[in-house]
Structures are given as C-alpha cells and as structure tokens.
Amino acid sequence: MSQFALITGCGSGIGRALALEFASRGVRTIATARQPSALKELAELHKNIVPMDVDVQESESILALKKQVEQITGGHLHYLVNNAGIHYASTGTDIDTAKVQELFNVNVVAVMSMVREFAPLLIAAKGVIVQIGSVTRAVPAIWQGPYNATKAALSQYSKTLRLELEPFGVRVVEVVTGYVQSNILRNGLHAPSDSRYLPIKDHIETLKAQGNKTGMPAATYARRVANQVTRANPPHEFWDGGGAWVMFLIVSVLPSWLSQRIWRSYFKLDLLRARR
C-alpha cells in the first residue's frame, strides 16, 4: 500500500527540501504552497510529488485541499508536515500588532486548522504529525519576541496534541530547529526611527545573516528529519539544524543566571545599558 505525505510551505527552503526527500523515499507527496507557480518546478523534479495550492489562513482553502487529498489518498494520510510559517522581527516595545496577529494566524492557528481537518485521515492510517518548530521556543532571541512566542505556543500545543491523539495511534513529533539555510530570515528588522534598540540593530542583522549563511543546508536537514519521523517509533521531539545542540545545552543545563549572561553578551545588550 502506498504511503502519502502532505507538506505545507513547499514553495522554497525547508518545505521544498522535505517534499523532495519524502518523494525520494517512495512516499506520494502532496506538496502545497500559497502560490501554485512556486510548485511548478518542484513537481517536475520527482514523479511522486503532487503540487496543490492552499492558503493555510483560509478555512475554505483548507477544506478544498482536504477534498482533493481524500480523493488521492483514499482517506489515509501517513504524514502531515506542518512547515508553513512566516517570520516577523521586532522588539517587544516596537511591535506592529497587525503583523503579530498575522504571525500567530500562520504559525499557530493555521497548524491547528490543518490538524483538525486532516485528523480523520491520519487516524485511519495511524500516521505521524510533524511540527516544524524552532529553538526559539526556549531561546530568548531578541528582536523576534512575537515569533519566539508562536514557536513556544506551537510546542505546548504539540505536547498536548500528542497525548490527545495517542489513543488513536497517531504520533506527534516536534522538530526543534536551529539555523537552516532558507528564506524565512530574508526580511529585515522592524525598527521605528526612535527605537531604543537602534544601537544594536546592525549587530542583530549580522547575526541573522551569519546564521542563514552558515546554517545547515535544507537538503541535509530534510534528510535528517525524514530519518527520524519515518522510524517505527519516532521520538516525541528532537533538536536539529545549525547550533541546535549548543542552544539546547544553554537552555537545558546551565542555570538561568548564566544563560542570561550569555545571551546578554551574544546580543550586545550592554551597549544599550551604556547609552541610557
């Protein structure tokens, strides 16, 4: 019997790499993105890839996708990979609340909507839900507090969902992701002209650029993710991507006062203290 995977956010980066990886393993892979044009080339790269467009913020779009997926899979879905996400970089005192609402809609609410609609297909196949999370669920990366909050919310939701779906044979795996070469960090930092944080803006931009440049290649990350989630007994969560294990040690082993000192130095926050 063929296996089926549904992956969101396949227009570029991690999602694109995941679609190719699952397809290469013989999994019939339904690769989705908001813009169909982004999937045309992807579909030509492997016969197991089925491109479909969906706007995960729109309930009607998700329902239309569900009908198509039911027809293709016969009502059985083995993998739901919730990868679609957006990034918004702002300090807590400078946020645009409309941007924050959109951020939560895509990174959290849309995931919940996808799970709600595709749960019957996953239960039928005793499948796996793969949540592409982030180390920022635990790392207080400054200038992106709202984004960090979405990943913390996703993590707690995933823990609860794991318990709720366990009686029905569905596994939930959270991938706690470090730096991966992708387009999610391509947008700059939001900062009004009177922001208190302008003295360190260039430094934070440099950290973002370095992280993307030296991060794990998306294809390598996708292979490692697929290796974990296709196991007979996949882990509840695992940390992967550039710098993931270093950050795991900092947030999990060190006392909070020491980790706070490390982050303060890393982000050069003492420059702000000197200017107040």
Q: List residues with catalytic annotation.
A: 147, 151
Cross-strand pairs, 180: 216
Distance in angstroms (rounded) separating the CA atoms of residues 8 and 272: 40
Q: How far is CA 234 from CA 128, 129, 133, 193, in A?
A: 9, 11, 16, 48
Give the three-state DSSP class for 220.
helix
Distance in angstroms (rounded) separating the CA atoms of residues 259 and 253: 9
Cross-strand pairs, 33: 53
Distance in angstroms (rounded) separating the CA atoms of residues 166 and 171: 6
